[in-house]
Structure 1
């Protein structure tokens, strides 16, 4: 695939996002586990496969592609001490008052509305699974920078969880015999 262009198909963006996540130590499976955990709080019959499919759907979106690629690159450049002045230290220490990383997460999760943002807030505060691991790796002896990635991964999980809920609600609504049109699942 020629990566020296600026427009990519959804399949290409999904592939590049999965590659970027893998290079930073994150798998689709780990994100899907968080989405499953998040959505299982509210519905008993959620399938794990629905969560995997939702994570992949989210990772194929253009806005998500831009957010993930930019955030991961900022983290990588921070690890290489590529920034000058106080921003290098702010990024490297994941300064709590910085907040721009959370804006990336809120924007991404917000693609799935207010509930997406609410789910992101819960994940951001409680840091389940890989989100916690990414956050802690930035504080260890051999510091990796995941200032942006932990929030982006949490936001993808939040959006995927919300997408699963929307699909489930749509399917439930379609049990009403007065609805005759075919569903268009997001």
Structure 2
């Protein structure tokens, strides 16, 4: 640290309380000038990066930048763990939504599982969603029976009372508590 008009130089770390008013003002002005240069460089660098991001989108398409970010994330153990966790979460939610995990929907554009399995999953999802018991399957068919079975399974999950405390319950103070 170099101080204007003082004895302290590099390696002589003095606290602000040990500096005279003139020394403190001089050091503050030096730091302000250096910080202003760094902020200007940061603005230019950010503008350059944003302009290059536009080139990436132009060259690689709408997902090009996302692909680059993913690639960079996968080059670190932390990024890889984050990506794996996100993929697991997405697979779970896709399963909840009825997407047949493990199939290649783009190749066939239809769920190739047996109709009874799909009917059960549809019924369970509708039951958990609180929808009315209504199916497009013909009464008396195995698919109809599986849908109804799934719907009741979904209702049973709701009836089990898997509920969390409402957020406002945590915010309210107990009487007499400070």
Coarse TM-score class (shorter-chain normalised): under 0.3
Identify which of structures 1 and 2 has the higher relative contact order when contacts are C-alpha pairs closer than 8 Å and 6+ apart. Answer: 1
Q: TM-score, normalised by structure 2?
A: 0.25
Query: Which structure has the larger Rg?
Result: 2
Q: How high is the TM-score relative to the length of structure 1? A: 0.25
